[in-house]
Amino acid sequence: MTGVQAVRRDVTLTPDARRVIVKLFVPGEDAAVVRSRARALIDRVAHLDDEETGRLLRDTFDRFGARHRDLAGTFQHHYDLVRHRASGARDLSPTSRLLVGAYFSHEYAVESAALCNPSMVAHPDQTGLVDGQLRVAVSLRQIGEGHLSSIGFATAVLGPGHRLTVAGRPGPLTVGRRMGVRHRWDLLAAGLAEEDWDNEVTATVLDALPERYDDAMFERVLGGVPPDLLSRSTGMDTLDQLRRTNAGSYATAFPAHTALHERVLWPAIPAESNGMEDARFVRFVDDSGPTYRATYTAFDGRSIATRALVSTDLCRFEMTPMRGPGALNKGIALFPRTVGGRHLALCRADGETIGLTVLNVENRWRRPVPLHAPRDSWELIQVGNCGSPIETDAGWLVLTHGVGPMRRYAIGALLLDLHRPDHVIGHLPGVLLSPDENDRDGYVPNVVYSCGGLVHDGELWLPYGASDTRVGFATVPVAALIAAMVQAPPAGAPGG
């Protein structure tokens, strides 16, 4: 027990099964033995008479139209994706095509299973507030059927004082539209090096690409690779690898008129196919102004990959892979500014120790310097960060999580030197927040976990996931928290 404890506030965000999106549904593809039944289904729809087709489509719009934006456009898009299965696609009426699209669609409740692991940053819109208030954007891990995670948002207002108002989150929801992106040469080179693809084909392609390029230029460069290089045994495999590595970077955008809580960052590439997890957002400031940056964990069903996103307005997002030994595990958290001209991040590359990693000139995160290893009884299994470091006059405030007996997660704190953040200058001798009787039961019992808080009017605001089921909020005065810290022993030293 410590002399300071975070105080829970009486506001909770719970999963809302009414928050749904429309996804493509192809009968048979979810079976153990994949056998598409698409052609037979399209033929059955095509044999309906015009009256029945019209009635079914009207009924579908009556049932679902108010829950989604541009449902007709979605049905048309889904029809376009499967029309190659239709033997008489040209003979189908516009109404029949929309009905086919309806049969190849289904609703997916993005948070039907759980809502958890939030982070909090200042909202881009600070208009209409009174003194002592701050509008914040809260990122959320949404978990639906099949334990599939996506990234959602809520909007809240902090203050005055301890007042917290979370805006409602009514639909309809919108999944971002995939956009073209200007790819980065250094990311492509780093990805190829990490996968050990260094041959004459990759060297030729890298030599021909500029620092920034689009997909059309990339394909032109691939098309210009000399045939005698492609005729080698690894030539075509190398082209496939180049495309896979390059496709790791993409952009997604939302209509400007959509509210933040209506936007869903949905898996868009194979590396994310089984989920986008635990986004740690931070408002990053440099000479060019503020941007929103985050790291998140991509899961493809077998392996994880750490990825980053950047946005100027939380409306258009660019996603990129993170490379290097410092990015080998979950839980990377970016610093909100450069320190000594260097981009820094907290990490847990070995799975159990908080470390500090630096981005090098090749856009790879270096091997981390250990900061804090499992030491106290409540964190002996593993430790990690609870989001990006928070700058204070006393140093970088780092919220940590530790795992103890019965896989019980609790939250603590460290203090890093402001100018030399590889030096831990203080740690909280105990727990700041741990599961109480109201927090401990849920999708994953006995867990409190955060992906990042912020300071407003001298108060640390900490959103946290409770047992991977719902989101709560807690506060603690920053001055009291720092005053309760004691001198930190060296990383890895035994504790109580």
- Over the chain (496 residues), what is each successive 10-residue block's mean pLDDT? 85 96 83 64 91 97 95 95 79 93 96 97 97 98 96 98 95 91 94 92 97 96 94 92 95 95 96 96 94 97 95 97 93 97 95 96 94 95 97 98 96 97 95 92 94 98 96 98 86 50
Predicted pLDDT of residue 30: 55
SS3 assignment, position 369: strand
Helix-, strand-, coil-residue percentages of the chain, each rounded to 5: 25, 35, 40
pTM metric for this prediction: 0.93
Q: What is the DSSP letter of 258?
A: S
Q: Contact, 327 vs 357, CB < 8 A?
A: yes
8 A C-beta contact, residue 46 and residue 86: yes
Provide the pLDDT for residue 28. 67
Question: In which residue are the tokens 């979605």 written?
Answer: 74
Q: Distance between alpha carbon 427 and the CA centroid of its chain, in Å?
A: 28
Q: Supply the pLDDT for residue 426.
A: 96
Residue 277 structure tokens: 């997890």
> Is residue 58 within a helix (H) or strand (E), and if so which, with residue range?
helix 50-64
Strand partners, 108: 21
- The structure tokens listed for 120 are 């909090």
CA pseudo-torsion sign 416, 374, 440, 295: positive
| Nearest of 273, 272, 204, 215 to residue 238 by alpha carbon | 204
Residue with tokens 């994953």: 444
CA atoms of 166 and 154, how far apart (whole Å):
7
- Please report the pLDDT score of residue 304 as a whole number: 94
Burial (0-12, 13-18, 19+ Cβ within 10 Å), 206: middle
Q: What is the pLDDT of residue 29?
A: 64
How far CA 217 is from CA of 58, 230, 253, 320, 362, in Å, comes to: 45, 19, 22, 19, 22
State residue 496's pLDDT score.
41
Distance CA 61, CA 71 (A): 8
Structural domains of the chain ordered from first start? 7-16+110-177+249-483 (2.115.10.20), 20-109 (no CATH), 182-246 (no CATH)
Sign of the torsion formed by the C-alpha atoms of 280, 464, 421 and 396: positive
Neighbours of 360 (CB within 10 A): 15
What per-residue confidence (pLDDT) applies to 490?
61
Instruction: Identify the pLDDT of residue 56.
Output: 97
